[in-house]
Copies of this chain bind each other. A is one copy, B any other.
Amino acid sequence: MSAFRYQALEVLLRQQIQAGRYQVGEKLPSVRTLCQQHTLSKATVVHALHKLEADQLVYAVPKSGYFVAEGMSYTDLPRKVSTPSVPAPVNVPDIFRDIMSRSAAFDILPSDGSTPVSQHLITLNRMIAKSSRTHPEQKAYYYDEPKGYAGLRQAIVDLYRQRNTPMNAEDLCITSGCQHALFLALMASCQAGDTVAIESPAFYGVLQQLEQLGLNVIEIPSDSNTGLDIAELEAKIQHWPIKACIVTPNFHTPTGSKMPVANMKALLMLANQHDFYIIEDDIYGELGFQNGPCPAIKSECTQGRVILCGSFSKCLSRELRMGWIAGGRLHAKIVQLKLITQLASPQAIQQGLAAFIHQGHFKRHANQYRQQLKEQSDQLLTELKRGWGQAIKFSRPQGGLSCWVELPEHIDTQKSYPSLLEKGVVLTPGALFSAHGLYRNHMRLSFSQPLTEGRRSALQLLFHTLLKDEP
């Protein structure tokens, strides 16, 4: 057995695990498969796996194989931060609003040009244009039905079936993107003065909604790998009853974390015991780096407690402004709120999109885009490790568009925002992701765009600016 051969495999698997290629609890390829893939002897493969096991990256299950360990032995993951234990209203500073609208593009260097256009997007445009030529007078003079086009709702149901999350077209309502869906979910489930639990760090778009609706917020620490800390949630709601918990189980922004199924079940049990709604933000649900089906919390819920919100903005096109909501026991109320806030959705876009999904284009696009994101994520993580691995900690996204970076404590990422913006570089400061001013030494980095030379330089400039006062 050559030392070089087992080490090469060990390094490869280690990189793949740390880059999130295999998620926590997932089985690695079998010894036999690894032998075949790498033309190695069984002894060599087992030796490499034993090394990983010794480092606590994987654990063996007798007669089954090797699995990625829960507490992967990264030393460079952002730490869980303790959060205030008392609910408080949100107060979003004005400067954040500017940052938010720029950060929505998830691009550190918007001037650098975006991903080359995919053939699938061209096909989608053609199908929408075709729908708009069909019965244009009907579309011009009559509104769509309040729930949205039934064909599109059925197409979304089909996508969820592939994720082992069964539902019916009647359970869905089309919205103007996920932001609209989340707003409807909060309006339907809460009243001003109620308390809502959020992940910490949390998606900033929701913080503005919570502020506007006069809701109190309690932040629950979240793990960079497994998401919301269920035990912390349980401890906090003993003292502070909540009306709803907003959570992004599948590929949360900013961390890219994925909630294990066991945690989903535990969260649902808590919701049933303590009578609150789960508002599930599923906007990144199609963007897992693993190809297997990735169920939503909704799939485990039998009591209509989960309000599932999603959108095609992140997995297909931000231009569509097409999202959905499955409101569970609040669904009728939510459809009314959709009518009140938007009346109806454009019909041609819905019809074109439904045809695009039915004909399999969406699946092909998503598979390709997922692969691309995975590669871009690997590139970014490699770059971070290589360039600033000693100074920072960063999450290992299991899907989605972004990675969460912790910098040394004395650094305030927000302070560098204006000077970087002048140079065209969009920094997304960590403080955006907290209702209570946490994460000043954090930031979100995205791999939604290819790591071009321009973006590589922007990253250099970013870290140079942030770390220049490094003692």
Chain A interface (Cβ within 8 Å of chain B)? 97, 100-101, 104-105, 107, 110, 114-118, 121-122, 125, 128-129, 132-133, 136-143, 145-146, 176-177, 179-180, 183, 187, 192, 205, 208-209, 212, 316-321, 336-337, 339-349, 448-449
Contact = CB atoms under 8 A, between A and B. Distances in A.
Contacts of A100: 339
The DSSP consensus for interface residues of chain A is: helix
A369 to B, nearest CB: 10
B132 A343 contact: no
Q: Which 5 A-B pairs have the closest CB atoms?
A: A117-B137, A129-B129, A140-B317, A139-B319, A179-B343
Contacts of A349: 346
Contact of A346 (B136, B321, B339): B321
Given A179-B341, A345-B321, A347-B319, A117 B143 contact: no
Given A212-B187, A337-B212, A349-B346, A145 B101 contact: yes
Contact of A132 (B115, B128, B176, B345): B128
A336 B208 CA distance: 9
B125 A129 contact: yes
B342 A180 contact: yes
A339 B207 CA distance: 12
A129 B177 CA distance: 21
Contacts of A320: 346
Contact of A141 (B114, B179, B209, B346): B114
11 contacts: A97-B336, A105-B141, A107-B142, A114-B137, A128-B132, A140-B317, A141-B449, A179-B341, A179-B342, A320-B346, A346-B349
A294 to B, nearest CB: 23
B208 A318 contact: no
Nearest to A339: B101
A183 B129 contact: no
Given A176-B176, A183-B341, A142 B105 contact: yes
Given A125-B132, A343-B104, A143 B192 contact: no
B125 A137 contact: no
A232 to B, nearest CB: 28
B110 A137 contact: no
Contact of A340 (B110, B129, B208, B448): B208
Contacts of A141: 105, 107, 114-115, 318, 448-449
A341 B132 CA distance: 26
Nearest to A210: B340
A125 B133 contact: yes
Contact of A319 (B110, B179, B321, B346): B346
Contacts of A142: 105, 107, 110, 114, 318
Nearest to A337: B212
Contacts of A319: 132, 136, 139-140, 346-348
A471 to B, nearest CB: 38
A226 B149 CA distance: 40
A133 B124 CA distance: 10
Contacts of A180: 341-343
B321 A342 contact: yes
A416 to B, nearest CB: 23
Given A101-B143, A121-B140, A128-B129, 16 more contacts: A97-B339, A101-B339, A105-B142, A114-B141, A118-B137, A128-B132, A136-B319, A139-B318, A141-B448, A143-B318, A176-B176, A205-B340, A209-B340, A321-B344, A321-B346, A346-B346
A114 B138 contact: yes
A116 B137 contact: yes
Contacts of A114: 137-138, 140-142
A136 B125 contact: yes
A176 to B, nearest CB: 5
A130 to B, nearest CB: 9
